[in-house]
Amino acid sequence: MVRSYSKYEQSQAFAVVNSASSNLVWTADSSIPIGSGRSSGAGRAYVGANEEVLCWDVKKGELLSRWRDTASTTQVTAIARSGADQDVFAVGYEDGSIRIWDERTATIIISFNGHKSAITTLTFDASGVRLASGGRDTDIILWDLVAEVGLFKLRGHKAQITALHFLHTGTDDVRERDSMIPTGLETEQVFLLSTGKDALIKLWDVHTQHCVETHVAQSNGECWAMGVSPDSSGCITAGNDGELKVWSIDLEGLRHSAAKIGDLDELRYLRERGVLYRQGKDRTLGISFHAQTDYVAIHGSEKAVEIWRIRTESEIQKSLARKRKRRREKAASNDTKEKEEKEHDQETHDKIETADADIGEVIVPYVTVRTGGKVRAMTWMSVRDQKKLQLLASTTNNSIEVFEVPRRSKTKTPTNDDAPEYNRVYSVDLPGHRTDIRALALSSDDRMLLSASSGSLKVWNVRTQSCLRTLESGYALCSAFIPGDRIAIAGTKDGQLEIFDIASSALIERMDAHDGSIWSLHVHPDGRSVATGSADNTVKFWKFEIIQEEIPGSKRTSPRLKLVHFRTLKVSDDVLSLRFSPDGRLLAVSTLDNTVKVFFTDSLKLFLNLYGHKLPVLNISISSDSKLIATCSADKNVRLWGLDFGDCHRAFFAHSDSIMQVSFIPRPSSSDETHIFFSASKDRLIKTWDGDKFEQVQKLQGHHGEIWAMVVSQTGDFVVTASHDKSIRVWSRTDEPIFLEEEREKDLEELYESTLTTSLENDTELPDGQDGAAAASKQTISTLTAGEKIAEALELGMADLELVRDWEVQKAAKPSLAPPQRDFVFLALGNISAERHVLNTLSKIPAAQLHDALLVLPFSALPALFTFVAIWVRRQWNTTLVCRVLFFMLNTHQKQIVASRELKSMLEGMRSDLRQTLGGMKDVLGFNIAALRFVGDRVQENGISRLEDVAAEDSQANRKRAFIDVA
């Protein structure tokens, strides 16, 4: 009989505040719908957390919502919020996909797929209808959120896109007076500003889909960031060595550019204003202008955010006047340069008049805010207090911080320009570790989880994922619960053992146990002692003793746990891992010389010496029946050994990187699971193995970084892993059985799909030195299967059409003729007609994937498709979808269609029907627009009130009346 195994699936992921792969978005509480939680007043932060988007209450530090697409396991790399609809967010992922989320329902509205690699930046236009995305694949794609399609792909950059921004030049007077003109009929010119790591800044005309202007944004390497002022009159680009380049944008020139005819190469709408230099010389990663005030926040890859201030015109004039005065004083002492200084004074005076002062006089440093970790992203928060600025920053060490900076006082004299004092007002850091988790331990009842990192230990409730205690510690490398689960013990890099009381969150004792780092510790199965292994070539044994400690200032005593050293085992090299056998008879120790030595626990005599690994053994586990020992190593192998004779049963090439942990189930509920074990590696995978059949059972993937630690629950109900991505994940056993043959087939399918998607990428590249637009399409497995479904439906439908037509011809001669035997697919769908079945197949395909699915159809399928299109047009079924399919196929296969007589005759037949249908729809739309205009005019008229201002000149004087219209 074929053996089945228990399937494990990820059930929980926690301990992540934010990941370093994405930016953050801040929203005010006022935009949150009523009933979604009590407002705290500080707003909410939306951050990427591996494959999820988390919404945090900035003030309370509470997790309010969690957005996750279960079908996707790739990291979030970019987040953008729509300015028109505050509840709509665009989220970009590492695989190049984009999902539009609705904040109110936490559901996906639209999914787009067009980039080959990770999304790096997203931005909405002012109307919220168009979305621009830039990726590592050097492409910029514009998406239409109403039609749910990709409009076009802009190519011209030679490296990763780093920033995008829409420039709206404004509309004509007609558009401003009449807001009822639908989107798409306005005369507004829309441009797109883009920067890339190729150090170029480009200006694109969205309407004509070509590049208007290109400049070199940075003189010393890549351009990593761009910030555009709120009024779009200027921008700042930044890159390496703290260099900031300031540009002015000629919006007036862009507004009238469409009316100009001829060669426009000489026209320049972007002009360089000058270069500034940050205090830090690291790479600049973010620039953000404040929406209401003249402040700019700039951050690099270090622990600082620099805030710059844009001076007012009067301040600039005063500053230049002071400089002129100093030059005069200097020139007075040197008569030979007097004439030269007068000329310079005249130039400076002219600068004041023309507002062309040096950019260093306009934008000046204000304050440098020091953060708790390296800054990944930051944004301004809007506050009502006119005297303060608030800045929200997400850091790479898994925390979010809010800083408050006082604004510059207008009463200060210009000379008193000292840096103001800022303070950190809020932080979200308790729900996670600041550094990588290096060790995990479960309590005896599997309810509490202990995680250890550099600087802290945290105790978690496994069921609710809430952090119960945070304990300050050294650089912890290993940890464990002491029997009773009230006390935790940790071994540190400094060779110290730290003992904590969990209930009171107090450090009971810190003792110098070893001269080197304590890499491993394990509590003896009898619960009375613990063994620690260190880099000082020793294994030390410690007894648990309860001593009576005097309470200072009184004669009373209180019991306290103490570790008493009673034995030492010396080995030839550094101890990396140690483990007692479950029966307590043996102790296995792995050392830096690639071997594992097994000793008798009572006499500490050498029992076995296990040779075979080519690199040091990083972890050991012994099965619950004390018969098998599993060892994992940096040589990417797992080896199974017998504990009776020390023979190697099997060596598995288990992972593609160093294997950090291996573990049997401590107390399996059935004998079949005694030799089931798990392995976790730096290749981000957890694997399940059968130690009797020597086969891989299951592969678990979900982590986005190296897995450092793993622990298995007592009965194997769940496995907990911790990774470099700062997350702790729980993999729970499900009721679904899995079979080895099915798993092998699934692996082969994944391999086939991965090779298939790479072969589908056949984009045509633009010639060198040319910028232009291409189709925003990308073939994926889903679009391929959708195209196959359309082809299958067309084949079935054509056969059924001919069958029904023949029956109708015969029925005209024989009215009593029985209906024909149709295909079982149509009967299963409720005896549906062929044309309705094909239309339903098309309508079920998401709008964003329809064009890519139609590209899969060969040209030979066009006659069948056009046959059904003619029927749909005649019956006026789903005209919007039908027209979209028809026009796309005409654009795609134009030359072949023109050369085909059959297809030309079919198009001639449906032309009159389509023209009539579209004409009727156009009339309905025109009538509706006219009605909306009429209603809008009435609303505007009702919004005007007439007020009378009555003022008496004297007690009996005549009254004057003044009238004013207030809209």
CB 65 within 8 A of CB 102: no
Domain that holds residue 77: 19-30+41-125
Q: Residue 883 falls within a domain, yes or no? A: yes
818 and 858 both lie in a single domain: yes
552 and 526 both lie in a single domain: yes
Mind listing the pLDDT tens digit for each residue in 144-158? Answer: 999 888 999 999 999
Number of domains present in the structure of the chain: 4
Mind listing the pLDDT tens digit for each residue in 351-360? Answer: 454 356 788 8
Closest CA to 14 of 568, 328, 398: 398
737 and 596 both lie in a single domain: yes
Measured between alpha carbons, how far is residue 718 from residues 191, 442, 459, 525, 727 in Å? 53, 11, 17, 21, 16
Q: Residue 370 falls within a domain, yes or no? A: no
**What is residue 174's predicted lDDT score, i.e. its pLDDT?**
37
CB 510 within 8 A of CB 500: no
Q: Residue 383 falls within a domain, yes or no? A: no
Angle 42-436-664 from CA coordinates, rounded to 5°? 125
672 falls in which pLDDT band (50, 70, 90)? Answer: confident
Mind listing the pLDDT tens digit for each residue in 362-417? Answer: 899 999 999 999 999 999 998 777 788 999 999 999 999 999 999 887 655 444 45
Among 217-221, 660-664, 722-726, the range scoring the smallest mean pLDDT is 217-221
Q: What number is the average pLDDT over the span 139-143?
A: 94
582 and 724 both lie in a single domain: yes
Res 183 pLDDT > 50? no
Q: Residue 877 falls within a domain, yes or no? A: yes
CB atoms under 10 Å from CB of 714, counted, come to 16
Q: What number is the average pLDDT over the span 256-269?
A: 67
Axis-axis angle for helices 901-942, 879-892 (nearest 10): 130
**What is residue 260's predicted lDDT score, i.e. its pLDDT?**
65
Res 822 pLDDT > 90? no
**What is residue 263's predicted lDDT score, i.e. its pLDDT?**
54
**What is residue 608's predicted lDDT score, i.e. its pLDDT?**
92
Q: What number is the average pLDDT over the span 323-330?
A: 82
Q: Residue 890 falls within a domain, yes or no? A: yes
681 and 639 both lie in a single domain: yes
Q: Residue 622 falls within a domain, yes or no? A: yes
491 falls in which pLDDT band (50, 70, 90)? Answer: very high
Structure pTM?
Answer: 0.86
Helix H, strand E, coil C: the string for 767-813 is: CCCCCEEECCCCCCHHHHHHHHHHHHHHHHHHHHHHHHHHHHHHHHH
Measured between alpha carbons, how far is residue 917 from residues 281, 337, 604, 884 in Å? 64, 84, 93, 14
Domain boundary among 571, 587, 619: 571
526 and 560 both lie in a single domain: yes
Q: What number is the average pLDDT over the span 572-578?
A: 95
Q: Residue 80 falls within a domain, yes or no? A: yes
Q: Between residues 817 and 129, which one has the greater pLDDT?
A: 129
Res 749 pLDDT > 70? yes
**What is residue 261's predicted lDDT score, i.e. its pLDDT?**
59
CA distance 607 to 811: 93
Res 888 pLDDT > 80? yes
Among 457-461, 687-691, 694-698, 761-765, the range scoring the smallest mean pLDDT is 761-765
Res 625 pLDDT > 90? yes
**What is residue 410's predicted lDDT score, i.e. its pLDDT?**
67
**What is residue 340's predicted lDDT score, i.e. its pLDDT?**
58
Helix H, strand E, coil C: the string for 456-502 is: EEEEEECCCCCEEEEEEEEEEEEEEEECCCCEEEEEECCCEEEEEEC
- What secondary structure does DSSP assign to 375-394, as a single string? EEEEEEE--S-TTEEEEEEE
Domain boundary among 691, 721, 746: 746
480 and 516 both lie in a single domain: yes
**What is residue 773's predicted lDDT score, i.e. its pLDDT?**
74
**What is residue 112's predicted lDDT score, i.e. its pLDDT?**
92
Res 13 pLDDT > 70? yes
Query: For all residues of the chain together, what is the average pLDDT?
Result: 86
734 and 818 both lie in a single domain: no
**What is residue 752's predicted lDDT score, i.e. its pLDDT?**
80
**What is residue 846's predicted lDDT score, i.e. its pLDDT?**
86
Res 343 pLDDT > 60? no
Q: What number is the average pLDDT over the span 261-287?
A: 82
Q: Residue 85 falls within a domain, yes or no? A: yes
Element containing residue 228 per DSSP (H, E): strand 223-228
**What is residue 71's predicted lDDT score, i.e. its pLDDT?**
85
Place of tokens 């993937």: 701
594 and 679 both lie in a single domain: yes
790 and 912 both lie in a single domain: yes
Q: What number is the average pLDDT over the span 695-701?
A: 93
The greatest distance separating any two alpha carbons of the chain, rounded to the nearest whole angstrom, comes to: 122
567 and 682 both lie in a single domain: no
CB 621 within 8 A of CB 665: no
Q: Between residues 495 and 414, which one has the greater pLDDT?
A: 495
**What is residue 511's predicted lDDT score, i.e. its pLDDT?**
92
**What is residue 355's predicted lDDT score, i.e. its pLDDT?**
53
Mind listing the pLDDT tens digit for each residue in 706-724? Answer: 999 999 999 999 999 999 9
704 and 819 both lie in a single domain: no
264 falls in which pLDDT band (50, 70, 90)? Answer: low
Which CATH number characterizes residue 688's domain?
A: 2.130.10.10
Q: Between residues 460 and 315, which one has the greater pLDDT?
A: 460
Domain boundary among 89, 106, 125: 125
End-to-end CA distance of the chain: 83
